[in-house]
Amino acid sequence: MTAMVASAAEQTLQTVAGALARARRVAVLTGAGMSADSGLPTYRGIGGLYNGIEIEAGMPIEDILHAYTLARDPALTWKYIAEIERACRGAGPNAGHAVLASWQAVRDIWVVTQNVDGFHRAAGSHQVIELHGNLSQLFCCACMAEYSIDVVDLTQLPPRCTACDGLVRPRVVLFGELLPPDAMAEYERELARGFDLLFVIGTSAMFPYIHGPVVEARARGCLTVEINPDVTVLSHAVDHRLAGGARDILQQLDRLLAAA
């Protein structure tokens, strides 16, 4: 029985590697699970940041990381932003990020990420759409002066603008805020151009702008593949599900691709 299950999984890997070898345009939609192998926490699931439900002041983390709370009590929102930033600072891209970057040499690959850690670009991916922004870029809410995370003093929260003393915040999407229009326009443009193959990796795919395009791409004839150790809302909506960690599965696919 175990041998049959293992061989079915192996066959799926072979099928996906074959499709990847033929694909010219590939979309890769990633979430927190992509960086879990770098040691970053996910938002939901085991060890997830949102598991505490009521974290502080009787507020769930979705309320703490909300635009309204940033305006009313910036030190509280910043306390949790700084925690995510600390985790990112001590980490970097893993071998899974590197595999995705290496695949772009001979195909048109678009990485669409909900992650704010910047690891896809750091690993060398060029066509990266950051739907939720990037934690290393900050700006002053009053005078719009731009800052890099390296020069902002995070020992005093919230950080203040050195020019006008306004509130400094990261260029990330908080709850209650719109997605960055440029990133969304780029995402919609590339989706409209179509893909041969679409991977959805390490995301619970809760948001309609993630699960919607996967379902639509499949309906248009694109092969859709999920990489995730757990079942998600998309698991039964994709052509193939590769159950496992992103780094391991991507490395296995890469080995099969080299042999194809």
Among all residues, which ones are annotated catalytic? 132
Tokens found for residue 237? 């909506």
Strand partners, 148: 137
Distance CA 248, CA 244 (A): 7
Sheet containing strand 168-172, strands side by side:
146-148, 133-140, 168-172
- Residues 69-108 close enough to bind ligand OAD by CB under 6 A: none
List 13, 23, 29, 31, residue binding ligand OAD (CB under 6 A): 31
When asked if residue 228 is in the footprint of ligand OAD (CB under 6 A), the reply is yes
CA angle 214, 218, 220 (to 5 degrees): 120
Tokens found for residue 91? 């980490």
Tokens 């192996």 — which residue? 10
Distance CA 94, CA 247 (A): 7
When asked if residue 252 is in the footprint of ligand OAD (CB under 6 A), the reply is no
By C-beta, is 59 or 145 nearer to ligand OAD? Answer: 59
Q: Of 102-110, 135-143, 163-171, 201-209, which segment contacts ligand OAD by CB under 6 A? A: 201-209
List 69, 77, 125, 232, residue binding ligand OAD (CB under 6 A): 232
| Contact letters for ligand OAD, residues 138-177 (x by CB under 6 A) | -----------------------------------x----
List 13, 36, 161, 250, residue binding ligand OAD (CB under 6 A): 36
Cβ neighbour number for residue 230 with a 10 Å cutoff: 12
SS3 92: coil
By C-beta, is 92 or 160 nearer to ligand OAD? Answer: 92
Tokens 């440029």 — which residue? 182
Tell me how far, at minimum, the Cβ of 248 lies from ligand OAD, in Å. 8
Distance CA 241, CA 168 (A): 42
Tell me how far, at minimum, the Cβ of 254 lies from ligand OAD, in Å. 15
By C-beta, is 161 or 202 nearer to ligand OAD? Answer: 202
Backbone angles phi, psi at 201, to 5 degrees: -125, 125
Q: Can you give the binding site for ligand OAD, defined by CB under 6 A? A: 31-33, 36-37, 42-45, 48, 65, 114, 132, 173, 202-204, 206, 228-230, 232, 245-246
